[in-house]
Homo-oligomer: A and B are copies of this chain.
């Protein structure tokens, strides 16, 4: 994101699970979401009508959940699929996947 970060020799594990096409799309969506959050800050600052702020927040929530499902799909298509194909940790991956969905549904 900032210069330091891009230059540092990254030791982060790059999972490469996100399809290039989706990565671009996901980043665009996240940038728009960031802008929306700043928009909400502005609305609160200017004391916009509460119902309008709530509508905007509900819209950001939906946008985030949409990103979540895109990533989820890529994850299944890549990680879960691969783990099943190679028969490596498939149970763990499936468990993780369901747990992630549960966290979204707050079950």
Q: Per-position contact with B for A44-67: 1 when CB-CB < 8 Å, else 0?
A: 111111110111011011101111
Interface size in chain A (residues, C-beta < 8 A): 73
Q: Which residues of B contact A37 (CB under 8 A)?
A: 30, 33-34, 37
Chain A binding surface SS class: helix
- Inter-chain contacts of A46 with B (CB < 8 A): 10, 12, 14
Cβ–Cβ < 8 Å partners of A27 in chain B: 41, 44-45
**Number of copies of chain A assembled together:** 4
Given that A47-B18, A62-B106 are contacting pairs, would A101 and B72 also be in contact in the complex, using a CB cutoff of 8 Å?
A: yes
**Distance from A101 Cβ to chain B, minimum over Cβ atoms (Å):** 6
A contact set with B: CB distance below 8 Å:
1, 5, 10, 12-18, 23, 26-27, 30-31, 33-34, 37-38, 40-42, 44-51, 53-55, 57-58, 60-62, 64-69, 71-81, 84-85, 90-91, 94-107
